[in-house]
Amino acid sequence: MSDMTFPLPDVGEGLTEAEIVTWHVAPGDDVALNQVICEIETAKSLVELPSPFTGTVTELLAEVGQTVPVGEAILRVSVSGGTASEPVAEPAAAAESEETREAVADAAASVEHEDAGGSVLVGYGTGGAVQSRRRRGGEPLLHGAAAAHGAIPVAEAAPILAKPPIRKLAKDLGVDLARVAGSGIAGEILRDDVVRQATQASLFRNIATPEAPAAREERIPLKGMRKQIAKAMVASSTEAPHVSVFTDVDATRTMEFVKRLKSSPDFAGVKVSPLLIFAKAMLWAIRRSPEVNSTFTDTEIIRHHFVNLGIAAATPRGLVVPNIKDAQDLSLLDLARAIEQLTITARDGRTQPAEMQNGTITITNIGVFGMDFGTPILNPGECAILAMGTIKQKPWVVDGEVRPRMVTTVGGSFDHRIVDGDVISRFVADVASVLEEPALLLD
């Protein structure tokens, strides 16, 4: 037996430090090669780290909440001869492997109770002691993914069939899974079931006003994701001269088109929303105004002939902007799948650094928060960000008559160093024209 230490690795380009968010092991626990041992938060993403050893944990060298420099040891493990030389999987690959996901899903299905702290999810435990595979005080013995991820055995409960990402989504949206009727096989709760339940509730579901804190003030350390967001937003607002334009749009035909897509067999099982049409409209409009898909440098303007389409996503840990690589090559169906996967990954806190790099243009959908419009700040390095407000019924003049129509507001902010008013106006008008008549996408 010998003691080995595990230094914090660089899980993304240029990473210098990361914060320990959750430990999934404790001293005395047995760990297997590539078993998830902890989660770290980099500048904008949550990453699971797999164990590079098979052995027994002897010491945790960093505490939850501690920021650790890359290369500093965070874990000590007592290993048997030869086990330390086995290859180590990349953290992102280990976290996203199909085998791991299936194992976690099986473990979640067997845990049929949500305790007072909420669902027990990968990376979002209840804050109690980490469960190991050793029997303690007569507790049931846990195996495999259930042991690795801190699943808590419960004697009795009503069955709730939902995979970890669905449980996390329900928690974020304030949905009680016990009240949701699952539409999946054997009553499994699916993503659409949770979203439907959340939609039926009031946007302001937490009507009760919380009690005022006893303390006169609270000091929150500026670190991790919030520190990175602040730095990026200040850089963007001070370096790029923003100019914004917006227009109201009759999106009735878009809503009808979305309804037809939802009933189409080709889109069965795929999330379809007005955001899909908005994204496709942007891709169409970029071909007509390629200047908006550019980056400004001190010596040149780089015009991109590919589109890495960023989707701004609000997560429990803050704003992230992952992007869909080469979105210009995707069909409407493939784009729908890509948006759905991007959204689920972001909400689960699993967006990896590479997924947020090299974006060329961004969408922000503030309509999901009930807002009509706002003036978004550019994602650093990009020329344009478009926003779509809520779509709701309003009076609209059609052929000289006032009729109820589904109306939204679209527009955005642009880097005035790269594009002038005519380009900006034409681009927004093109996007609006597609929302008014989606048949233009067939051109």
1-88: in CATH 3.40.1440.10: no
Q: What does the pLDDT look like over 150-199, one tens digit per residue?
A: 433 433 545 678 877 788 788 777 788 888 888 877 778 888 778 777 75
Q: What does the pLDDT look like over 353-368, one tens digit per residue?
A: 888 899 999 999 998 8
Measuring CA to CA, how many Å separate 12 from each of 40, 71, 357? 12, 13, 10
Of all helices (H) and strands (E), which one includes residue 92?
A: helix 91-96
pLDDT at 319: 83
Q: DSSP of 237-293, one letter per residue?
A: HHHS-EEEEEEEEE-HHHHHHHHHHHH-GGGTTS---HHHHHHHHHHHHHHH-GGGS
The residue with greater pLDDT, 227 or 429, is: 429
With a CB cutoff of 8 Å and minimum separation 6, the contacts of 53 are 4, 6, 31, 33, 77, 79, 83, 84
The residue with greater pLDDT, 299 or 142, is: 299
The residue with greater pLDDT, 281 or 165, is: 281
Give the whole-angstrom CA distance, residue 247 versus residue 408. Answer: 9
Give the whole-angstrom CA distance, residue 414 versus residue 19. Answer: 34
pLDDT at 135: 36
pLDDT at 377: 92
Give the sheet arrangement for strand 67-69, strand by strand.
Answer: 46-50, 36-41, 17-23, 67-69
Neighbours of 440 (CB within 10 A): 15
User: Which is nearest to 45 in space by CA: 363, 356, 342, 310?
Assistant: 356
Is 47 in contact with 95 (CB distance < 8 Å)?
yes
pLDDT at 39: 87
The residue with greater pLDDT, 431 or 141, is: 431
In the block, residue with structure tokens 């020329």: 383
Give me the residue spans of the domains in the chain: 1-88, 97-205, 225-442
Give the whole-angstrom CA distance, residue 72 versus residue 62. Answer: 9
Percent of the chain clearing pLDDT 70 (strictly above): 78
Residue 440 has pLDDT above 90, yes or no: no
Active site residue 416: yes
The residue with greater pLDDT, 148 or 249, is: 249
Q: Is 193 exposed, middle or buried (0-12, 13-18, 19+ CB in 10 A)?
A: buried
Identify the weakest region by mean pLDDT among 23-37, 139-153, 190-204, 276-290: 139-153
Q: What does the pLDDT look like over 68-117, one tens digit per residue?
A: 998 999 999 998 754 444 434 344 333 333 443 443 343 333 333 333 33
CATH of region 225-442: 3.30.559.10
Residue 50 has pLDDT above 80, yes or no: yes
Report the CATH architecture of 97-205.
Answer: Irregular (4.10)
pLDDT at 347: 80
β-bridge mates for residue 323, sequence order:
310
Give the whole-angstrom CA distance, residue 13 versus residue 394. Answer: 48
Identify the weakest region by mean pLDDT among 124-138, 209-223, 259-273, 406-420: 124-138
Write down the pTM of the prediction.
0.60
Neighbours of 316 (CB within 10 A): 12
Is 2 in contact with 79 (CB distance < 8 Å)?
yes
> What does the angle CA 253 – CA 257 – CA 258 come to, to the nearest 5 degrees?
120
Given the residues 143, 149, 242, 416, select the one marked as catalytic.
416
Residue 317 has pLDDT above 80, yes or no: no
Angle between helix axes 191-200 and 164-173 (nearest 10 degrees) is 10
User: Which is nearest to 202 in space by CA: 174, 225, 181, 242?
Assistant: 174
Give the whole-angstrom CA distance, residue 220 versus residue 25. Answer: 27
Q: Which amino acid is it at 74?
A: I
> What is the mean predicted confidence (pLDDT) over 321-348?
92
Residue 141 has pLDDT above 60, yes or no: no
Same fold, 1-88 and 225-442: no
pLDDT at 330: 96
User: Which is nearest to 379 in space by CA: 299, 295, 318?
Assistant: 295
Give the whole-angstrom CA distance, residue 443 versus residue 429. Answer: 17
pLDDT at 132: 35
Identify the weakest region by mean pLDDT among 174-188, 337-351, 367-381: 174-188
The residue with greater pLDDT, 205 or 315, is: 315
Q: Tokens for 224?
A: 């991790």
pLDDT at 327: 97
With a CB cutoff of 8 Å and minimum separation 6, the contacts of 116 are none
With a CB cutoff of 8 Å and minimum separation 6, the contacts of 273 are 258
Q: How confident is the model at residue 200 (pLDDT cuts 50, 70, 90)?
A: low
Q: Which amino acid is it at 38?
A: C
User: Which is nearest to 430 in space by CA: 238, 255, 257, 291?
Assistant: 291
Residue 386 has pLDDT above 80, yes or no: yes
Residue 234 DSSP class: H
